[in-house]
């Protein structure tokens, strides 16, 4: 059997077949230990595990990781929060706060999902109708 080296420590058989599903992938990542500030605009899906201060704009998915601290107003298609967000959130389709996720500010979204163990300290505006724009 023949192998190809992917990284210095990872070898895979040449006979293995890969299927890449780009539509489900996180396309960008701000890792733990990274601090950024400013105005962030992006397309695709982004995961933040570091610190960000400013404002965030996307029509797609934003994932706030467990160790992230975000001080920003956020306008997103959908947002999933496992870390801390200080600021107002407007989600066109859905906002979800996972266990351990904390939001200190206002959330506007047609769908709001809060898991046991999540914190929301602020106002909510739930319309029940997802925005198509």
Domain ranges of the chain: 19-126
* Residue 9 DSSP symbol: T
**Tokens encoding 73:** 């107003």
b (16+ CB within 10 A) / e for 50-75: bbbeebbebbebbbbbeebbbebbbb
Q: What is the pTM of this model?
A: 0.77
Q: What is the pLDDT of residue 1?
A: 45
Q: Is 35 helix (H, G, I), strand (E, B) or coil?
A: strand
Assess whether pLDDT exceeds 70 at residue 112.
Answer: yes
Tens digits of residue pLDDT in 23-50: 456 677 788 888 888 999 988 899 999 9
- pLDDT mean over 79-95: 97
112 burial (CB, 10 Å; 0-12 / 13-18 / 19+) is middle
């Amino acid at each position: 059997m023949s192998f190809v080296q992917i990284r210095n420590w990872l070898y895979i058989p040449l006979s293995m077949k890969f299927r890449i599903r780009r539509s489900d992938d996180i396309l960008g990542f701000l890792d733990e230990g990274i601090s950024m500030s400013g105005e962030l605009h992006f397309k695709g899906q982004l995961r933040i595990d570091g610190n960000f201060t400013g404002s965030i704009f996307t029509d797609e998915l934003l994932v706030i990781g467990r160790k992230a601290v975000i001080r920003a107003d956020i306008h997103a298609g959908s947002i999933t929060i496992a870390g801390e967000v200080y600021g107002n959130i407007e989600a066109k389709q859905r906002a979800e706060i996972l266990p351990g996720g904390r939001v200190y500010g206002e959330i506007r979204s047609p769908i709001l999902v809060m898991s046991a163990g999540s914190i929301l300290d602020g106002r909510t505006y739930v319309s029940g109708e997802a925005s198509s724009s």
